[in-house]
Each structure stands twice: as structure tokens, then as C-alpha cells.
Amino acid sequence: MSFHILTWNVFDSQENRDRRICAIKQVLQFADADLVALQETWGDEQWNSMIDDFRKEGYHVAATHYPGLTILSRLPILMSYVIHTSTGIRALRSIVHLRRSKLIFTNVRLPWGEDFRDVRERTLTELRASTHVFDRAEILAGDLNSEPWSSPLTALMTTQMNRPFTNTDPGLSDTCRIDNPLAARYCDVPCKLDYVFVRGPLRSLSSQILAEKPIAGVYPSDHAAIYVELELIS
């Protein structure tokens, strides 16, 4: 059984917000992913109206407004809850029904900057520790604000969480690019900040970057989205 994952920091700035929300909706409809992790989401009427449209299209929804995290799922959501870590970072987790089993799907955004490296590492360690007793497939997706070789990600991979694709796959391309003026304000060089990690009987079939170019003359976000096709191995 294969299914698609999308993770995307949609940039909760007010700049060109109305046009960007329209562009975000177009990308999500085009991707038609089975599981979607969105970070830096809004909680106002226009954003909620768009989310309601996805409900009408058959998506189950879990969301928390502080921080702005949203999960969209075509798979039935059995339960959702906010995880409060000792670092002050909150994550959103849903348990979804996948085939004849359950899948743990965690959505998180970690703080940006070298001063928060230890916070990122401790948060990821806690998130992983909170699921290690469960013998089931697990996905952690989000804006981890860490380069691929950094200590927070290295520490995460020592806990059997792995990136489901190799360094040459499109899914490990830079998600913040300096040709995007929204990203160029804080990135001097292109960088990879967004990830999908998996544990258990899951393997990658394909991956790509979406929304890295303007749509109708506007960049939807300062980040591009990661789109991955995974297979549940029997």
C-alpha cells in the first residue's frame, strides 16, 4: 500500500496573505496528499474557510493555533493531541488508521537560529522518546530548522528514525532558496530546513519539492513543500 505525505511551512506573515492563501490552496489540491503537515498556519476566518473546504473534500483535520500547526488526513484520524515538551516547544500528533494498523504522525516546527541548536536536539529526543514503546509505523514531519548534517538530526537518527530517501533524491533538495525573496531575507545561501523522518515498515518510492516557484505572481511561502510517496511494507 502506498500513500503520499506533504510537509510545508506556509509562513504566517501578513505579507500578500490573501493571495498566498489562494496559492497554498492550489498547491494542496494539486498534491492531493493523504497526510499533510502544515506549520505556521493562521487561525482566522479566511484560513479556517480554506480548511473547511478540505473537510468537504474528505479530509480529517487536527489543528492547534498555538503554535500554528495543522494536520490534514485522508486516512481516518483515531485521536489527536498536543505534545508539550520540556523545552517549551509544542508538537501536534495524530494517530491514524492505515490498512489494518495504526500510524503515528507528528507535526512540529522547531525554532530557528544557532542559539536554539540544543533546544532543537532536546525537543526531537523527547518527541522520539514519547513513541519508542509503540511497535508501529511512525512519521515525523515538519520544519526542523536544521541542516542535514547538524547534531539535532544526527541525534534523531540514532533513535531509529531515518530519512526515507538518499541524499541525491529530490526530497532532500533545499527548501529555502535565495531566488525566493521571502526566504532571501534570512538565508544567504540555499538551505534545507524541512524534513520527513520515518520509522518502521515504511520505504520511499519517490520524493519531490513543490511550490518553489511563484504561483500567479506570488510565492506561496518562504519555504518549499516536501512531497513524498511512501509504501507500507507488509
Three-state helix/strand/coil letters over 174-234: CCECCCCHHHHCCCCCCECCEEEEEECCEEEEEEEEECCCCECCECCCCCCEEEEEEEECC
Q: What pLDDT digit, counting tens, does each position of 45-64 carry?
A: 999 999 999 999 999 999 99
β 77-84/90-98 pair status: antiparallel
Category of 62 on φ-ψ map: left (φ > 0), alpha (ψ -120 to 50) or beta:
beta
Contact 7, 107 (CB under 8 A): yes
β 77-84/137-143 pair status: unpaired
Which comes out higher in pLDDT, residue 162 or 64? 64
What pLDDT band is residue 161 in, cutting at 50, 70 and 90? confident
* In the predicted structure, residue 163 carries a pLDDT above the cut 80: no
Give residue 5's Cα distance to chain centre: 8
Q: What nine digits make up the cell of 218?
A: 506570488
**In the predicted model, what is the mean pLDDT of the chain?**
91
* In the predicted structure, residue 166 carries a pLDDT above the cut 60: no
Question: What is the mean pLDDT of the segment spanning 19-47?
Answer: 96
pLDDT at position 172 is 60
Q: What pLDDT digit, counting tens, does each position of 88-109 carry?
A: 999 999 999 988 889 999 999 9
Contact 229, 35 (CB under 8 A): no
What pLDDT band is residue 149 in, cutting at 50, 70 and 90? confident
Q: Which CATH architecture has domain 2-232?
A: 4-Layer Sandwich (3.60)
Question: What is the mean pLDDT of the segment spanning 131-139?
Answer: 78
Which comes out higher in pLDDT, residue 166 or 158? 158
Instruction: Name every residue whose Cβ is closer than 8 Å to that of residue 201 and which is 6 or more positions away in sequence.
Output: 137, 232, 233, 234
Q: Under DSSP, is residue 184 helix (H, G, I), strand (E, B) or coil?
A: helix
Q: What pLDDT digit, counting tens, does each position of 193-212 carry?
A: 999 999 989 988 989 999 99
Domain spans of the chain, in order of start: 2-232
pLDDT at position 165 is 61
Which residue in the block uniquely carries the three cell numbers 489494518? 100
